[in-house]
Chains A and B, each alone.
Chain A
Amino acid sequence: MERSSEVMEMGTELGKYKTCVSARSTNKEILKKSQDGGIVTQLFAYALEEGIIDGAIVAGQSDEPYRPRPFIATTVEELMTSRGTRYNISPNVSFIKEATRSYGLDKVGIVGTPCQMQAVRKGQLYPFGWRDVDSKIALAVGIFCMENFPYQSIKQLVEDHAGVKMESVKKMDIGKGKFWVYTERGAVVQLPLKVTHKYEQPGCHVCLDYVANLADVSTGSVGSPDGWSTVFVRTTNGDNIWAKAIAAGCFETKPIDQVKPGLELVSKLANEKITKNQKTVEERAKFGVNKALRNPYIKP
């Protein structure tokens, strides 16, 4: 356990950021179907219209309900079909190279979980097999993530535990310590998170990043009131785009210290994730003959 002190200093759980606000889109159409504040959709829509990006890789619709499939949106209309969160994996990074190839994009936007942001940045740092891809990533938006589920898990939770057919689900949400399922006919089912734990992907249990530290802009509902999202603006690039979007009137914002529950809750959950997953990281480092997984979070 003495290792954990060198692993991550307390207070760094939110990563580096320039500004943090609570925000929501000013576009009613986006808010109609968005998860919370419609930040990702609104930011990409603005960037698309302004030519900051010429396409965005988002979690699109597939043949099965609530199963996301990476999708390259090149218009706002296409973007609108992908609003909302679906709590399972959308391998967006796998599309990033294709976006610069047969889609012919030069300025790519991508949204993803913290681990996907890590992959994007790693690809930019060591662009092996990413010839002319690294320089074409124009906007990377990260979303807060405690853990993710395979599609089979979500199906089991919704259909077996909540007793709702996937087709009739209107919205899913994780918040206030519960997994919520809203149906088309108005029923609401809530499952305690204790039930969902065993359905999580095991791979998520080594992740020490809750708030997408490496994104240009990261966002999530935690810390803000219902219908609003917490937004961290992290990089210079992110800051430029965010400032322009604010100036264009895309978002309403409130200072984060004036909203409830505020940054404290984000910090609390981030630390919870780090502390919990730290154990798995340490266990895995002792696999086999102590030559197993290197802890990527240890400072050199």
Chain B
Amino acid sequence: MSKIVEISPTTRHEGHSKLVLKVDDAGIIERGDWLSITPVRGVEKLAINKTMDQVPKIASRVCGICPIAHTLAGIESMEGSIRCEIPNDAKHLRVVLQCANRLHSIALHNILILPDFYIPGTDTKINPFTPEEPVRSVAKRIVRLREIGQTIGEIAGGEAVHPSNPRVGGMYKACTPRAVTKMYDLAKEGLTLAHEQMDFMLAVIGNMKKRDWVDVGGKQIPLPKTLGYHNQGVMASHPVYSSSNLDEHPGWDPKRWTDVRPYDWYMGEGEVSLADPGYPIGGTSPVGTKVNPQMEACTGVPLYDGAPVEVGPRARLVTFKNFDEKGTWGQHIARQMEYTDCLHAMINALDEYNPSGKVLADNIPQGDGSLGWAANEAPRGCDVHLAKVKDGRVLWYEMLVPTTWNFPTCSRALTGAPWQVAEMVVRAYDPCVSCATHMIVVDEDKRIVAQKLIQ
């Protein structure tokens, strides 16, 4: 007889979400629903009739961790719609900005996941805030990596959070040679630190892979070897940066995308019948709590080729580098491997960049209302923005944010795991829930069928 457990809210990730889990007598998940309960902000609605310059800046406000990815995806979807090609030097600055974002985001995620892991060779979990070694020097390194990412973002993008420098048609300002040198030196410093940090994280993750159990709330919970495995596909548009409809070989196809209402996807009404007050941070919801995921979920369910897909570092490495690790540990390993990748990409872009080159297109068309899209590879995965611009104004706008893609995939990946480790599976996706909370559901003919479910 299956029971329902609810973990609400889930912790140590961005935004507000919860887990509703149907488990068997042994506590193994039969069906898991992970859903966003962050209220819908309606950015798509706000965008309508605003100028194409305003909308990406508004869109970036959905989140403070990946505003760079949203700004770039927003701007490039506008450029895709108006068919505007930007100068190479502007592109290089955008790549630097993109990598700076990814660098500080991975470092932040390290802090969020480390408490799930053990110091290798011991049964002591890692507390990233302890003043004791060896953790202290790791924490300092993480902070420095974040500082490096944010400083480079600040120089290339004008602002580390909500970058002001990118604009439709290129960038507002070119960077001076002095600024380029500064970014280059920082990236070089970051590269050494990133190597060390990657090695440390890989050792910690490798140790975790070998463990048979993990302590959750004072209980030893068995760790399945297939933690987080799922049979869904992966989706990635570019190894590092982004793809748009202006590319010769676009990395994403809007025709393959459909949306499903959460009502048709998630579990129906139910009642919590299993509770554990000893579960970390206040216990799970008490027995008798009403749950109704299909009405509570605040995201649509985007499908690619009719099925949910995984996006993120693992998806990128699987698509472009024949990476073959699966599941939760595979995702963690892939993310650490991107540390050095993004610094190398940054250094290469800075080498290519010419400070006296042009960063703004000579001609910026105002658009005829045709569809443009950009699939930016944000830290958490493929961030697709779609837009239609006519006479400089936005007629239609849509954001398909990485975690939106990951919600249904991760829900499926929960099956077969003890419910106590469900949050570990969720955290491996580095969820960023608030930006994932959008709701415009379109059917197979791309007609909007639901804007928001009003309860």
Interface residues of chain A, those whose CB is within 8 Å of chain B, are 54, 74, 98, 100-106, 131-132
Contact = CB atoms under 8 A, between A and B. Distances in A.
B173 interface: yes
Given A74-B178, A131-B160, A104 B173 contact: no
Contact of B159 (A104, A105, A106, A131): A131
Contacts, number: 40
Contact of A102 (B151, B158, B181): B158
A104 B155 contact: yes
B183 interface: yes
A102 B165 contact: yes
A104 B175 contact: yes
Nearest to A97: B158
Given A131-B154, A132-B154, A102 B159 contact: no
Contact of A104 (B158, B160, B161, B182): B182
A112 B183 CA distance: 29
B182 A101 contact: no
Given A98-B173, A132-B151, A103 B178 contact: yes
Contacts of A102: 155, 158, 165, 173-176, 179
A104 B158 CA distance: 10
A103 B160 contact: no
Contacts of A54: 178
A132 B173 CA distance: 19
Nearest to B175: A102
Contacts of A132: 151, 154, 160
Nearest to B93: A102
Nearest to B147: A132
Name the residue in B159, B165, B176 with the highest tally of chain A Cβ atoms < 10 Å from its Cβ. Answer: B176
A132 B150 CA distance: 10
Nearest to B180: A104
Contacts of B180: 104
Contacts of A100: 154
B93 to A, nearest CB: 9
Nearest to A98: B173
A101 B151 contact: no
Interface in B239-273: none
A246 to B, nearest CB: 29
B158 A101 contact: yes
Contacts of A103: 176, 178-179
9 contacts: A101-B155, A101-B158, A101-B165, A102-B155, A102-B173, A103-B176, A104-B155, A104-B178, A132-B160
Contacts of B182: 104, 106
Given A102-B176, A103-B176, A106-B182, 12 more contacts: A74-B178, A101-B155, A101-B159, A101-B173, A102-B155, A102-B158, A102-B165, A103-B178, A104-B175, A104-B183, A131-B159, A131-B160
A103 B161 CA distance: 18
A131 B151 CA distance: 10
A54 B154 CA distance: 18
Contacts of B161: 131
A104 B155 CA distance: 6
A103 B183 CA distance: 11
A287 B318 CA distance: 68
Given A131-B159, A131-B160, A132-B154, A104 B165 contact: no
Nearest to A74: B178
Nearest to B177: A104
Nearest to A105: B178
A131 B181 CA distance: 21
Nearest to A72: B176
